Structure 1
Amino acid sequence: MRKSITLFFLVAVIGLATCQSSIVEKLKSSLLKTTVTKDTVRTNKDTVRTEKLKLKFYKKDANASYYADKFNGKKTASGEKFDNNSYTAAHRKFPFGTKLKVTNQASGKSIIVEVTDRGPFSRGREIDLTKRGFMEIAKNKGIGVMVVTIEEVVN
């Protein structure tokens, strides 16, 4: 009886140590600042090219939404004309012209967008995407908000 209890505690301690080390490894990998991935980049003219991107992690579990159709054709904060069929975004902090990789955590799909506007102005939301970009990575086309990971594209 005593040997079985000792064996049980030994197995439990080894299992806990293994579990903790895998958690530590996951935390270390998520905190890496720069990663290089091979991605498909779409421009506003729908040209598609595959290139290696250098990415700098910004935020995980961010809420993303998309622009309403009523903003189509209006001026953005950067002075550009807004087009809901392009790959642009609104963010409160990133400078205009910054390229961001936005990945839907539910579907794993991602897009590259350029920051051209300020916002979103809804509490709890981190980024506003164009409707085209949002629908391209959305798992469920009927939703208005999704959880994403945001990474800055570094040149």
Structure 2
Amino acid sequence: MKKLFAILFLLVIIGIAYSQAPSVIKEKVTNSKDTIKKEKTNILPETLIKDTVFDPNVKYVLYKKNGHASYYADKFHGRRTASGQRFDMHKMTAAHKKLPFGSKIRVTNEANGKSVIVEVNDRGPFVRSREIDLSKKAFMAIASSKGAGSMKVTIETIVKK
């Protein structure tokens, strides 16, 4: 009787967990039963567009050309930044030595012309030759080579008109 009760209890817990699971997991389960293959959608451009929205009401002011940029190590994910926020390597954030917290800046890779808009929420990098540390998501969005650890960038501050 106790085993039956325990099994019933586990089935209820699993049912509750499944009903509260993200819809992505449910779609994968239902799609595996489909016999028709569906095209995969690339979510990367959508996230970049959401994070780097073009706004005609802002002006870009050159801060530094030929700056040396790198990205945070994975070990810092979840730790507190100097601004008090938790560092999230999946957000468009950056660390800069002097720019105020909350500043929005555009960082452009000089090798390929790709750029992202990031928010300064930490101090650093604490290496004399480096100008800015980007989150991993921001760095990979503009990197020419995904294996690179640093790049030459142009940094522009964003000022409302």
Write the distance in 2 (CA, Å) between the matches of 1:117 and 1:88. 8
Gaps in structure 2 of 5+ consecutive residues? 1-46
58, 83, 86: which is aligned to 1:81?
A: 86
Within a 5 Å distance, the mapping from 1:1-155 to structure 2 comes to 46=50, 49-52=53-56, 53-155=58-160
- Alpha-carbon RMSD across the aligned residues, in angstroms, is 1.9
- Residues 52 and 117, structure 2, Cα contact 8 Å, conserved in 1: no
Report the 3-state secondary structure (helix = DSSP H, G, I; strand = E; otherwise coil) of the residue aligned with 2:54.
Answer: strand
- CA, structure 1 residues 47+59, in 2 after alignment: closer, same or farther (shift >3 Å)? closer
- Residues 51 and 117, structure 2, Cα contact 8 Å, conserved in 1: no
Query: Relative to total residues, which structure has the larger strand share, 1 or 2?
Result: 1
Write the distance in 1 (CA, Å) between the matches of 2:103 and 2:52. 19
Letter in 2 for 1:108: G
Q: What are the superposed Cα offsets for residues 50-85 of structure 1, whole Å, 9 maximum, x if unpaired?
A: 322311110100000000000000000000010000
Write the distance in 1 (CA, Å) between the matches of 2:96 and 2:140. 18
Higher-Rg member (1/2): 2
Report the 3-state secondary structure (helix = DSSP H, G, I; strand = E; otherwise coil) of the residue aligned with 2:101.
Answer: coil
Letter in 1 for 2:55: E
The percentage of counterpart residues that share the same residue type is 57
Write the distance in 1 (CA, Å) between the matches of 2:150 and 2:123. 18
TM norm structure 2: 0.67
Gaps in structure 1 of 5+ consecutive residues? 1-40
- CA, structure 1 residues 116+48, in 2 after alignment: closer, same or farther (shift >3 Å)? closer
| Aligned residue pair count | 114
Q: What are the superposed Cα offsets for residues 11-60 of structure 1, whole Å, 9 maximum, x if unpaired?
A: xxxxxxxxxxxxxxxxxxxxxxxxxxxxxx958xx466432231111010
Query: Relative to total residues, which structure has the larger helix share, 1 or 2?
Result: 2
- Once the two structures are TM-superposed, the CA of residue 123 in structure 1 deviates from its matched residue by 1.9
